[in-house]
Structure 1
Amino acid sequence: MGKSAKRPPVQRPLGAQISHMLKSRGVDVIFGIPGVHNVEMYRGIEEAGISHVLARHEQGAGFMADGYARATGKPGVAYVITGPGLCNIMTPMGQAYSDSVPVLVLSSCLDETAARRGQLHQMLDQEAAAATVCDWSHEARSAEAAYALIDRALAEFESQRKRPKHIQTPIALLGANADPAPDVSRAEQNGQAGPPDLIGLEKTLAGASRPLFIFGGGLAQNGGQGVTPNEVFVRDLIRRSGAAAFCSYAGGGLLSPEDPLSFGCYLGRPESARIMAEADLVIAIGTELSECDLWRNELGHQGTLVRVDIDPEVLADEHRAEVTIRADGMAVVQALLDKLPGETAQPKWNVAEIAAAKARWRAETDSERPGIADICDALAEIMPDDAMIFSDMTQFAYVAKEVWDMPRPGHWHHPTGFGTLGYALPAAIGGAVARLGKPTVAIAGDYGFQYTVQELGTAVELGLPLPILLWDNAKLKEIEDSMVESQIAPNAVIAQNPDFLKLAEAYGAFAEEPQNLAALQSAVLKAFQSDRPTLIRMTSDLTG
């Protein structure tokens, strides 16, 4: 008998084929909102075995995808409609770009825009609009192009700096039958890449009298996900080199709070420029040293600056490092450890002076925004080590990022850079979806919380045991302080707040308003055991 004929591929509408393709590439969850323009994208979601999380607004869907990606290291995927749907998710796309988060946004688009006007959801140039807030934005004009662009995005998430991508597909094409996507093709690697070329960095480090490291979020990504947590290597590097170190906000948790050579996350304090000037060697690994890291234009170093990063743009920035190494930061850390002596080195900095500086900076922080540091201490005392926190642009988070010593890296996520309000709640929902059974927390301010408060409905719908810590000072306090500092009479900084407890209950969530720190601790622990989110209102009265 001859060989049986090969069965022809099963054709489906392209929208359905895309969902099947994503599932075959490891995508298990999609965040989004269906509409008449992208309805064909929803045809194959359940059939493919993908879970869909219904957001209440596309901005929420984008932040959920961002939170999911930060929690897992996998791409967060969002489905949105033409026009306003795409515009609404552009804010999360801009945030993901600033913070190097792998978010893939798939949208529909109109079939023809140049020759027709007045169509539903029409924009002048949707593809170009999205391109302003992501790595790239392209239109797929065939099924083959759609598959190729998706695979390109997924491959770049693995091999390059993680940045959001946008792919749009015409409505008619989404509904047209298409062959399935090709099987996953991965080139076989013949052996692993060797260690990065340190170009004598280990000798420079050994010869320095006051070496100083700056560890950034590039080392904290997926912290603790591997066989050996990243923080183990980083802390060992400090111990065996005798160098002191700072962490950027995104690198929080890489250093141990008990390490006498750790300056913690106080890089943004003005006095840290003086510390930089005292070092004869500064090695910055996996950090942009951006305005949002330093809150000044110059690092302040006088000695040699070494930059390690996978992004060539970072290596050629305004800080003009004398030595640049384009490589994965953790690979460089491990390569340095391979060349250092195994025993603990003598500290090359005065540990008493480091402790005094940290105490001084904490006092400064507490003076600038009174009472918050003590609340942070109370929360940190009862917070599980594996808790993942998502914070918003709020004074509470500004203090916490400096004074709260996280036990693990990659477990505090903040909208750095783009600085979007409304990030915390939906991002925490995405993180909680990714970490079912593990503690996840949202921290928001009373004003920013209202940007995405409607996502409480999603959290209740999913039954997430999510504590939402709401810092309520009844105003835009950070902006008021900025106006006063600029000798501007405070204006437009007070808004009428709702009764947040009743609002939460209206959505079906629990609500608490603890009257002291012990009650706050109890409320958080109780929230972790609940079958739905709990809004916990915090005010300055907590500390008297």
Structure 2
Amino acid sequence: MTNLATWIVQTLAANGVDTVFGIPGVHTIELYRALDGSGITHITPRHEQGAGFMADGYARVTGRPGVCFAITGPGLTNIATAMGQAYGDSIAMLVISTVNSAGAMGSGAGHLHELPDQQQLMSQVSAFSHTVLTVEEFPMVLSRALAIFASARPRPIHIEIPVDLLTADATRLGPARKLAVPSRPSAPETVLSTAAGLCERSARPLIIAGGGAVRAAEAIRELAERLDAPVLMTVNGRGILAGDHPLALPVWPGGQVGGAAMQEADLILAIGTELGPTDFEDRLVEHQSLSAPLIRCDVDAEQSVRGRLPDLPVVADASDFAGRLAARLPIRGTGQGTCRAARFRDALNADLTPRQRTSIRVIEYLRDSASGAVIVGDSTQPIYAACTAFAASAPAQFFCSATGYGTLGYALPAAIGAALGKPGSSPVFAVVGDGGLQFSLSEMGTAVEAGTNVIMILWNNRGYGEIKAHMERASVTPIGVDIHTPDFRLLANGYGWAYAKADNLRSLGAAISDAMALNRPAVVELDETSLNEAEEADSPGLG
């Protein structure tokens, strides 16, 4: 007999799942029995929130859904924050959990891990949450999840299974198999013709590319070059055009320069971006007055008409739309777009504060340390600066939790997930502040246990520095932001990480080189008060 737990694990493997994140519990042990010999690698975080963040990082670098197993009740409430971040950033995540058996489910009797209605709770941070009540139901629900991941806006999906159903006979489902999924939507010819006409009549087109377009980089580059159009990349869209491309605008859209680029354009093509307030600084009301027609391409029909209403909504895959539109357009070759992009980049550089320049330089050191380096950021000061003006080399090589849901504690576990999804010689950096790190500090143990070589860049300002700065600017006495700072060298040693402290950019470069030569995780601590570009102290080395 094949029980449902075994069928689930075998079917996940048949559909390309090679890694599952989760913490075993008494309600999920049948899933773990099925994992043995399945070929799927299991990663044990120290907290279910870490499992969700790891799945998020894994999904971003692989383009495949991150998968988690979670126990009933506290396992789900723990992972909900990570699902909220993934929901905000449209990241594919599959969370399979248990729920109490029929009769105990939501009974109010006080059964282990009981919640009144955990499906309703999880529906707030997922594309859908579904309770499977029969064996025959599961294949349809899993197919529905895979269809959304493959052809719609990818967001977390939660499937819960009563504990007693895991051991039910699933032989009648047949052998595990790859499930068929629909293709992504394609732009109609009539819509492409209308878009091409608008493009041909424009003199100053601008492309805005977001996180929904990271798999469409080649098509967007071709479109931009044919149109001679600068590409303004949101935070999640960084690297769609490499930073050294003459049409690249790795500029925060909500700033003065991003706003000026949109105001100057006579046509805007927004591809794979929700035009969200955390990217556009709540300036969408101002942008309502933009004179430029807006072509908006999104895989999600509902999202395509949120925020500023488009003149031409296009419900289509970003790569399909950009590639087929580019094929209809002649090559302009005027160079005006290149000049506009250079002018906006120069204006942005002139606006940066010395503190922002130093922070961005730190992130650039990481980018330039090795080909293919992945930088995962928390909500921390150097990442906020990087969101303003950092140019990534390729898509999915810079991402963070500083926009969208905006959670803390993201960078370390998400970097672990990215390292597991992208094994090899390219380093994965986790950029995190001392306050944010203490949300998920225990995942340092997971990094060692999983055999990753994550390099943590620890920005130490002895507290919640960004919040403190906001308080001071608002004339609020700082309360609750000056927190106890542990000895990170001792913590690193205790978890089996290498450690170095860098006081300036030169020593940072040397410390990073040393860290990459090691075969274990490493912490490079930066003291914000002593970091100064003019200093040339020697690197303390790693030990």
Using the size of structure 2 for normalisation, the TM-score is: 0.91
Is 1:505 aligned to residue 490 of structure 2?
A: no
Deviation of residue 344 (structure 1)?
5.1
CA, structure 1 residues 188+158, in 2 after alignment: closer, same or farther (shift >3 Å)?
Answer: closer
**Does the aligned pair in 1 maintain the 2:123–2:129 contact within 8 Å?**
yes
Is 1:231 aligned to residue 231 of structure 2?
A: no
Deviation of residue 252 (structure 1)?
0.7
Could you say what secondary structure the match of 1:537 adopts?
strand
Q: Which moved further from structure 2: 403-412 or 440-449?
A: 403-412
**How far apart in 2 are the matches of 1:122 and 1:189?**
36
Aligned to 2:36: 46
The partner residue of 1:142 within 134, 147, 162 is 134
Matches for 1:295-314 after TM superposition, within 5 Å = 295-298=281-284, 300=287, 301-314=290-303
Aligned to 2:229: 243
CA, structure 1 residues 349+435, in 2 after alignment: closer, same or farther (shift >3 Å)?
Answer: closer
CA, structure 1 residues 275+422, in 2 after alignment: closer, same or farther (shift >3 Å)?
Answer: same
Could you say what secondary structure the match of 1:16 adopts?
helix
Matches for 1:120-519 after TM superposition, within 5 Å = 120-179=112-171, 181-182=173-174, 183-184=176-177, 197-221=191-215, 230-298=216-284, 300=287, 301-341=290-330, 343=331, 345-349=333-337, 351=339, 354-367=341-354, 369=356, 371-380=358-367, 382-415=368-401, 416-437=403-424, 438-519=426-507
CA, structure 1 residues 157+350, in 2 after alignment: closer, same or farther (shift >3 Å)?
Answer: closer
CA, structure 1 residues 186+464, in 2 after alignment: closer, same or farther (shift >3 Å)?
Answer: closer
Unaligned runs of 5+ in 1: 1-10, 222-229
**Does the aligned pair in 1 maintain the 2:135–2:168 contact within 8 Å?**
no
Unaligned runs of 5+ in 2: 536-543
**How far apart in 1 are the matches of 2:74 and 2:97?**
11
* CA displacement 1:12-42 (0-9 Å, x = unmatched): 3322221112111211111000011111111
Paired letter, 2:361: D
Deviation of residue 523 (structure 1)?
1.9
Could you say what secondary structure the match of 1:374 adopts?
helix
Using the size of structure 1 for normalisation, the TM-score is: 0.91
* CA displacement 1:284-343 (0-9 Å, x = unmatched): 1111110111112326322211111111122111301111111111111111221122x4
Deviation of residue 47 (structure 1)?
2.3
**Does the aligned pair in 1 maintain the 2:56–2:92 contact within 8 Å?**
yes
Aligned to 1:226: none
The partner residue of 1:109 within 96, 99, 110 is 99
Could you say what secondary structure the match of 1:106 adopts?
strand
CA, structure 1 residues 40+306, in 2 after alignment: closer, same or farther (shift >3 Å)?
Answer: same
Deviation of residue 185 (structure 1)?
6.1
CA, structure 1 residues 177+232, in 2 after alignment: closer, same or farther (shift >3 Å)?
Answer: closer
Could you say what secondary structure the match of 1:531 adopts?
coil
Paired letter, 2:177: V
Could you say what secondary structure the match of 1:169 adopts?
strand
Could you say what secondary structure the match of 1:405 adopts?
coil
**How far apart in 2 are the matches of 1:256 and 1:155?**
31
* CA displacement 1:461-520 (0-9 Å, x = unmatched): 122111111111112121112112222222221101101121111111111112332221
**Does the aligned pair in 2 maintain the 1:220–1:251 contact within 8 Å?**
yes
Could you say what secondary structure the match of 1:127 adopts?
helix
**Does the aligned pair in 2 maintain the 1:21–1:181 contact within 8 Å?**
no
CA, structure 1 residues 180+257, in 2 after alignment: closer, same or farther (shift >3 Å)?
Answer: same
Paired letter, 2:156: P
**How far apart in 2 are the matches of 1:447 and 1:400?**
19
The partner residue of 1:18 within 1, 8, 19 is 8
**Does the aligned pair in 2 maintain the 1:513–1:537 contact within 8 Å?**
yes
**How far apart in 1 are the matches of 2:359 and 2:105?**
52
Could you say what secondary structure the match of 2:159 adopts?
strand
* CA displacement 1:137-188 (0-9 Å, x = unmatched): 1111122212321222112211111011101111111133332744536569
% identical equivalent positions: 36
**How far apart in 2 are the matches of 1:186 and 1:132?**
27
* CA displacement 1:200-224 (0-9 Å, x = unmatched): 2112111112111111111114xxx
**How far apart in 1 are the matches of 2:481 and 2:384?**
18
CA, structure 1 residues 52+84, in 2 after alignment: closer, same or farther (shift >3 Å)?
Answer: same
**How far apart in 1 are the matches of 2:234 and 2:163?**
44
CA, structure 1 residues 483+312, in 2 after alignment: closer, same or farther (shift >3 Å)?
Answer: same
Deviation of residue 393 (structure 1)?
0.6
Q: What is the RMSD computed on CA atoms of the aligned residues? A: 2.2
CA, structure 1 residues 15+240, in 2 after alignment: closer, same or farther (shift >3 Å)?
Answer: same
Q: Which moved further from structure 2: 268-277 or 37-46?
A: 268-277
Aligned to 1:3: none
Paired letter, 1:184: R
CA, structure 1 residues 83+542, in 2 after alignment: closer, same or farther (shift >3 Å)?
Answer: same
**How far apart in 2 are the matches of 1:48 and 1:200?**
51
CA, structure 1 residues 115+276, in 2 after alignment: closer, same or farther (shift >3 Å)?
Answer: closer
**How far apart in 2 are the matches of 1:140 and 1:514?**
52
Instruction: Give the length in aligned residue pairs.
Output: 522
**Does the aligned pair in 1 maintain the 2:23–2:47 contact within 8 Å?**
yes
**How far apart in 2 are the matches of 1:483 and 1:238?**
42
CA, structure 1 residues 63+256, in 2 after alignment: closer, same or farther (shift >3 Å)?
Answer: closer
**How far apart in 2 are the matches of 1:458 and 1:483?**
35
**How far apart in 1 are the matches of 2:265 and 2:473?**
32
* CA displacement 1:85-113 (0-9 Å, x = unmatched): 11100111111111111100011111123
Deviation of residue 525 (structure 1)?
2.5
**How far apart in 2 are the matches of 1:48 and 1:338?**
45
Could you say what secondary structure the match of 1:371 adopts?
helix
Could you say what secondary structure the match of 1:283 adopts?
strand
The partner residue of 1:63 within 47, 50, 53 is 53
**Does the aligned pair in 1 maintain the 2:53–2:414 contact within 8 Å?**
yes
**How far apart in 2 are the matches of 1:67 and 1:250?**
13
